[in-house]
Homo-oligomer: A and B are copies of this chain.
């Protein structure tokens, strides 16, 4: 079977160009020194997300089109978290020479499709050889709202609002780690694997939240870490209501089947990461309207706590503080191993 090394760099660029579709009107796409994008006056959003084989994904866990699509979705999530519109992306690939051409083509197809669907077509990038694993690095551009929603800005009394459900990605990761094969045998397993492989794209929800929120971020790291990122820059803290957390529905089934304790779904939600939902600090008077507008576009959102004056993050159950315990083998990690 032909490998990437057999086909060469020009072939990779040609596949990317074919799958990216036409360049933006008035612009220049893949193949020149730089891409050219027409822009209205305003402010630009730029974000970047690098995925390393063996750290962020494994080739034997997910089909290549989903690895590509997830790489884009993780980037789009950052634009959504500012309340912005995705505009375009550039994709750099470090490719092991032994990769089969067919595998790479499928990855690029999934990547390009997700990019087009999210409104951020691939307009350029770079391809280089890798002596080790595959690295996918995407930089995404977006158009900012008049007033982009930063992580800073939360105020005491703000509602902490979360879209969708939490802990599904970590549940899927746990299944993969126990040897589950895509697409998953049991219904709960399939749901968990899918949740890990296919993050939600919350651009529309980000625009709704962006019109009201004091502060917003996406939940790419642990939920608890993201709550802290939202309140600690203002010198504030937060109380999170444990019973209000929207847990991944199949979490209990996954935990049971994997022989894990009954509170593992909660740990996945709090410390799991990669849920790519949005977390926003919304003024309480705006919350009912925000919830209604989100429901109208098919997004369930939950008020899971409050921003408070006292620093630190408190998990509260029935009015009592619950210790924030990662549990044995807990998930949520610093990328270099420090805790």
Q: Which residues of chain A have a CB within 8 Å of any CB of chain B?
A: 4-10, 12, 26-28, 31-52, 54-56, 77-79, 81-82, 84, 88, 90-95, 97, 123-133, 135, 137, 139-142, 144, 148, 150-152, 216-218, 334-338
Q: A47-B124, A126-B49, A131-B55 are in contact. Are A97 and B337 (CB under 8 A)?
A: yes
Least CB distance from A54 to B in Å reads 5
Cβ-defined contact, B9 with A334, below 8 A: yes
Q: A7-B338, A336-B5 are in contact. Are A47 and B31 (CB under 8 A)?
A: no
Q: Bound complex: CA of A137 vs CA of B89, how far in Å? A: 14
Least CB distance from A231 to B in Å reads 15
Question: Can you list 5 A-B pairs with a CB-CB distance of less than 8 A?
Answer: A27-B43, A34-B47, A37-B43, A52-B129, A52-B130
Least CB distance from A155 to B in Å reads 18
Cβ-defined contact, B148 with A28, below 8 A: yes
Cβ-defined contact, A94 with B52, below 8 A: yes
Q: Bound complex: CA of A91 vs CA of B140, how far in Å? A: 12
Least CB distance from A87 to B in Å reads 9
Residue of B nearest to A143 (CB): B39
Q: Residues of B contacting A217 with CB < 8 Å?
A: 32-33
Q: Bound complex: CA of A10 vs CA of B339, how far in Å? A: 11
Q: Residues of B contacting A124 with CB < 8 Å?
A: 46-48
Q: A128-B52, A336-B97 are in contact. Are A39 and B36 (CB under 8 A)?
A: no
Pick from B45, B47, B92, B218: contact of A48, CB below 8 A. Answer: B92
Q: Residues of B contacting A56 with CB < 8 Å?
A: 128
Q: Residues of B contacting A94 with CB < 8 Å?
A: 50, 52, 135
Cβ-defined contact, B34 with A338, below 8 A: no
Cβ-defined contact, B129 with A131, below 8 A: no
Q: Residues of B contacting A338 with CB < 8 Å?
A: 5-9
Q: Bound complex: CA of A324 vs CA of B129, how far in Å? A: 26
Pick from B34, B82, B88, B336: contact of A78, CB below 8 A. Answer: B34
Residue of B nearest to A278 (CB): B33
Cβ-defined contact, A8 with B48, below 8 A: no
Pick from B5, B77, B132: contact of A132, CB below 8 A. Answer: B132
Q: Bound complex: CA of A27 vs CA of B158, how far in Å? A: 25
Q: Bound complex: CA of A101 vs CA of B21, how far in Å? A: 42
Least CB distance from A178 to B in Å reads 21
Residue of A8, A42, A79, A129 ringed by the most chain B CB atoms within 10 A? A129
Q: Residues of B contacting A150 with CB < 8 Å?
A: 28, 32, 36
Pick from B34, B39, B90: contact of A42, CB below 8 A. Answer: B39
Q: Residues of B contacting A132 with CB < 8 Å?
A: 130-133
Q: Bound complex: CA of A42 vs CA of B27, how far in Å? A: 11
Q: Bound complex: CA of A276 vs CA of B33, how far in Å? A: 12
Q: A50-B94, A338-B8 are in contact. Are A33 and B151 (CB under 8 A)?
A: yes
New A-B contacts (18) at CB < 8 Å, excluding given A8-B334, A34-B47:
A4-B336, A8-B336, A32-B217, A33-B47, A34-B45, A34-B84, A34-B140, A36-B43, A37-B44, A39-B41, A44-B141, A46-B139, A48-B91, A52-B129, A52-B130, A56-B128, A92-B139, A129-B337
Least CB distance from A11 to B in Å reads 8
4 A-B pairs with the lowest CB-CB distances in the bound complex, closest first: A132-B132, A8-B338, A139-B139, A34-B47
